[in-house]
């Protein structure tokens, strides 16, 4: 699957512009990690782009992302990509036994938190987001309350990077695509 085909699939199943932007955000983070780990940035980016493509039509844990995996198999997507997408959701039981799987799990919730931090900045710009501002909000459970902080901490530990370094990587990845995100 190419990036163009993945984006078309995302927009076929996802109409909410914020969910599309979330896919773009996680794609950017995954591409950055692929480069850091000298992996296939196209493949890793597709995992980020598609990790929640079925969420709008299958928002419950008994369906997402398992129903999406069925769709991806029907489209001939590689099992490596599908397994990584399944691994971002702990309830699927897919083991996070590769760097790809660890990276998507570690990046999903944190990308959402970084965007939320940008949205409360006076100018709503990612350029104003710092590691310190994200760390402060990470420690405020009432801020962006739907963001799973336990998954951020667990994912970061599994990825094997210090939390502040992971936050910095996510911020830089999102800043690089700020115009696509409107931030």
Structure tokens at 61: 């844990």
CATH of 3-181, one of 1.10.3120, 1.20.120, 1.10.3210, 1.10.357: 1.10.3210
pLDDT of residue 131: 98
pLDDT of residue 88: 97
Nearest 5°: CA angle at 159, between 154 and 164?
80
Q: Taking residues 152-159, what's their average pLDDT?
A: 97
Could you give the CA distance from residue 22 to residue 114 in angstroms, rounded to a whole number?
Answer: 11
Domain ranges of the chain: 3-181
pTM of this prediction? 0.96
Q: To the nearest whole percent, how much of the chain has pLDDT over 70?
A: 100
Nearest by Cα to 99 from 35, 150, 177: 35
- Over the stretch 44-78, which tens digit does the pLDDT of each residue have? 999 999 999 999 999 999 999 999 999 999 999 99
- Over the stretch 96-119, which tens digit does the pLDDT of each residue have? 999 999 999 999 999 999 999 999
Nearest by Cα to 58 from 45, 73, 69, 44: 69
Residues 6+ apart with CB under 8 A from 59: none
Whole-number average pLDDT of the chain: 97
Q: Taking residues 124-138, what's their average pLDDT?
A: 97
Could you give the CA distance from residue 5 to residue 46 in angstroms, rounded to a whole number?
Answer: 9
């Amino acid at each position: 699957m190419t990036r163009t085909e993945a984006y078309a699939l995302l927009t076929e199943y996802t109409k909410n512009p914020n969910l599309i932007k979330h896919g773009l955000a996680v794609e950017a983070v995954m591409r950055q990690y692929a480069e850091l780990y000298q992996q296939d940035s196209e493949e890793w980016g597709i995992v980020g782009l598609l990790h929640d493509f079925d969420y709008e039509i299958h928002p419950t844990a008994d369906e997402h992302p398992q129903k999406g995996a069925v769709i991806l198999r029907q489209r001939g997507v590689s099992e490596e990509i599908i397994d990584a997408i399944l691994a971002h959701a702990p309830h699927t039981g897919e083991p996070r036994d590769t760097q790809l799987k660890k990276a998507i799990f570690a990046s999903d919730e944190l990308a959402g938190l970084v965007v939320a931090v940008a949205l409360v900045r006076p100018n709503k710009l990612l350029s104003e987001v710092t590691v310190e501002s994200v760390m402060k909000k990470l420690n405020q459970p009432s801020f962006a309350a739907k963001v799973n902080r336990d998954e951020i901490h667990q994912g970061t530990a599994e990825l094997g990077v210090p939390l502040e370094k992971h936050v910095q990587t996510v911020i830089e990845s999102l800043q690089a695509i700020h115009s696509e995100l409107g931030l």
